Amino acid sequence: MTDQQQEFYRFFVVEYYATGEGISYWLQISRNYSGGETDYELKEFKRFIGISYYFHGIEEKNEEEFMSAYASMIPPYVIRAVERRDQPAFTWQTHIHLNYS
């Protein structure tokens, strides 16, 4: 992929459902710094999640898929920042847990 084809942001998610425990979402939007083999953004997402048990559920979405599924969980100022595409450095992360009990 050339620099012109490279996505400006990368979008990561983990959805974890457990009977009796509810649901957890880990979301990350980050500027796409990848250009090498280090995969900085994925490493940062794993560091944010913190527990390797959840790593098997990591998915990388494109912008349309991510925003379609999770926009209601993202503050409006973050959505505006993503739309502007003018940040030299940008990472947004959140962890949301919903307990149904």
Whether 1 shows a pLDDT value over 90: the answer reads no
Residue 68 falls inside a structural domain: yes
Considering only CA atoms, which of 10, 77, 78 is closest in space to residue 44?
10
How many domains does the structure of the chain reveal? 1
3-state secondary structure of 45: helix
Average pLDDT, the chain: 90
Q: What is the pTM of this model?
A: 0.88
Q: Band of the pLDDT at 7, cuts 50, 70, 90?
A: confident
What pLDDT sits at residue 2?
46
Domain range enclosing 36: 9-98
Q: What is the pLDDT of residues 34-87, one digit of tens each?
A: 765 678 999 999 999 999 999 999 999 999 999 999 999 999 999 999 999 988
